[in-house]
Amino acid sequence: MHTLLAIDTSTEACSVALLYRDEITANFTLSNRDHTKQILPMIDELLNQSGCNLSQIDAIAYGQGPGSFTGVRIGIGVAQGLALGIDRPMIGVSTLMTLAQGAFRNKNATDVISAIDARMGEIYLGYYHRQSNDEWQPLISEIVINPADIAEKVPNISQAFSAGTGWQTYPTMLPNIEDSGILLPQAEDLIVIAKQKWLKGEIADVANIEPTYLRNEVTWKKLPGR
């Protein structure tokens, strides 16, 4: 049996999940810029409730983005710290693909267009098809895009579900798309994808973690003295 811990703080959601003894348990909350205060107590609570020690974990999965720049960095930083402490590998999972898995869990959706509000009049976009082996096939490369251009990027949509906050902000981006009811990524969905990656050996060393921002330029808040 495999024991995995999943962490996602890439959006305003703060969530953790544990795969232990073939059972997934999860903890989810909305966070008002409080991820750093909430995530570690959530992990401790989940491990204590499950009777699992951190040292029993085989790998730590994390939401690699796209999403909030700060949120992605927080999640990666926490995951790296834990993985380094127990000398375990890490598994990065796309935030947009995690939303697709949520749509499948909620609506049994097999074709999902995930869109996260990227601010500045743009969205992060991904389009996925669930294959017969239960893995998600990206039908386009994940991009940041103007909502007005989405119809050109994903034409000929016959039956697909929406997922993510982008659809809440821009509800008329595409006609004839069904609402999956999933707005935010949840670690219980992330860990399902992480298990598939673990079984295929798609892991990364702590020192080789790469977040996904999609935007080439990130606005930094200048720190005092910099």
What confidence tens digit (pLDDT) does each residue in 22-32 have? 999 999 999 87
224 upstream amide cis, omega within 30 of 0: no
Question: Which residues lie across from 138 on neighbouring strands?
Answer: 128
Instruction: Identify the band that residue 219 occupies on the pLDDT scale cut at 50, 70 and 90.
Output: very low
- DSSP assignment string, 133-193: TSPEEESS--EEE-GGGHHHHS----SEEEESHHHHHSTTSSSSEEE-S--S--HHHHHHH
Position 222 scores a pLDDT of 33
Position 224 scores a pLDDT of 37
- Is 80 exceeded by the pLDDT of residue 165? yes
DSSP-derived 3-state class of residue 216: coil
Share of the chain above pLDDT 70, in %: 95
Position 216 scores a pLDDT of 66
Query: d(Cα 129, Cα 111) in Å, to the nearest integer?
Result: 5
Query: d(Cα 173, Cα 163) in Å, to the nearest integer?
Result: 12
Sign (positive/negative) of CA torsion 141, 145, 147, 153?
A: negative
